[in-house]
Amino acid sequence: MVKSLQFLLLTTIFFFTKAEIFSQIKSGPMVGYVEHRTAKIWIELQSDIDVQLKYWRTGAPSTIQTAFPNHHRRFNFHTIIFDCVNMDFGSMYEYEIFYGKKSSGIKGNFKTQDLWKYRKAPPDFNFITGSCAYFNEPLVDRPGKPYGGDSSIFYTMALEKSAFMLWLGDNWYTREVDFGSEWGLWNRASRDRGLPVVQNFMKSMPQYAIWDDHDYGPNNEGLSYIFKNETRNVFSSYWANPTYGSGEQGVYTKVSHYDLDLFLMDNRTWRSSDEMNDSISGKPNPEKTMYGKTQMDWLKNSLLNSYATFKIIATGSPFLNRNNQFDCAVHYVLEHQDILNFIALHKIKGVIFLTGDRHRCEVIEEKRDGLYSLYDLTISPLTSGVYKLVGPELNNPMRIEGSNLEEQNYGRISIFGKPKERKLKLEYLDKIGTVKFTWEISETQLK
């Protein structure tokens, strides 16, 4: 009887110790950037406690290592991005969070990229993507019908066996109570990241992100936003991308996954007002910019240095749609034409644009004389309101037939095939995972 009571007491103490540790982790873990021998794991804490993350190769517990923590603290918010290093390429790894020497019971896994180049054919893989995740908060939302829809799409996406997820901006929506203060920006990111509906998804695969206006600040905001330095701090504290711009400006970066290079653009830090005239006296307005010179130089040189089969330029605003009256790069005439001219002049192969923002999906084709067509794959929304086509866009001749989708969705992009015959396939899937549209292109069509 005494032994039974002792066992019960020890079990109860162990249970409450684990529960206490678990309660100190507000959200996460989230897997961030994973490459050949390193990976990033993100968590947010409720309070300052001694937290460690240990990781080891699956099936080899003797390889256990302790990750290096990078702390981000502001106001009452505390996030940690753990760097896991010195790993084997092409291997499965497990990790676990500890409070001191005690296990929290919070575990996960990830796989490092294989070392394939010069050794074997590039592996087949897919990733998922989407934009516009609005989570309702009635106290601060606008009156009337809720703007956010069903969030169960994240349960569906968590079941995907994908290499990673790419968030295409508007990953959370700041409201009037958020974007007028630094604390408000942190609070919005923390609140939405901590929602139970996204927890399993965030740890199910690596997560990469760009931003657009609503997770940057106010609607349509750009370089004039007075808190743009602080919102960059928030972004880099709640995502675990490889880098964030250069010289402490911007959030652009590049992610490589086998024979795919993703150029993750920042369309807000240097963005002129949408209300600025596109042209003056019949000539493009030289003062109207979306990306800025530093980022433009980076993109051009990065494209030239890329040997990837497919080069995807991901940016929050649609890029090619010349019939788009609203948020589109075509209204930033000089930069838009500069990028197109550069791709043509240097005969850069395999370029595709990937965008969000519009609360609907479509594939836009821009035909070019003597050159391959350029395509803009727009994927939106995950949970926010849906936009119904009207006006000049209704019968847009640039749209690939059948590609318009006006409902909650996410995209799946697969890259597969033999060397020199690689293909890219796009699928739109609804919130329960039903494929609604498929489009495919080969690398030979992008030369």
In percent, how much of the chain has pLDDT > 90? 91
Q: What number is the average pLDDT over the span 239-244?
A: 98
Q: Residues 112, 114, 115, 118: what is their CA dihedral angle, to the nearest 10 degrees?
A: -160
pLDDT of 167 > 50? The answer is yes
Q: Residues 191, 197, 198, 200: what is their CA dihedral angle, to the nearest 10 degrees?
A: 130
Largest CA distance in the chain: 94
CATH code matching the domain that covers 2-111, chosen among 3.40.640.10, 2.40.37.10, 2.60.40.10, 2.115.10.20 = 2.60.40.10
Residue 22: predicted pLDDT: 53
pLDDT of 282 > 80? The answer is yes
Residue 188: predicted pLDDT: 98
Task: Fill in the DSSP letter of residue 122.
Answer: P
Residue 392: predicted pLDDT: 85
- Residue 206: CB atoms within 10 A of its CB come to 26
Q: Give the model confidence (pLDDT) of 31-55 as tens digits.
A: 999 999 999 999 999 988 899 999 9
Q: How far apart are CA 125 and CA 410, in angstroms?
A: 17
The fourth-level CATH superfamily of domain 125-446 is: Alkaline phosphatase D (PhoD) (3.60.21.70)
What are the structural domain ranges in the chain? 2-111, 125-446
pTM of the model as a whole: 0.95
Residue 21 binned pLDDT confidence (cut-offs 50, 70, 90): low
Residue 2 binned pLDDT confidence (cut-offs 50, 70, 90): very low
Query: Going by DSSP bridges, is the β-strand pair 371-378/362-368 parallel, antiparallel, or unpaired?
Result: antiparallel
pLDDT of 15 > 60? The answer is no
- The rounded mean pLDDT for the chain is 94
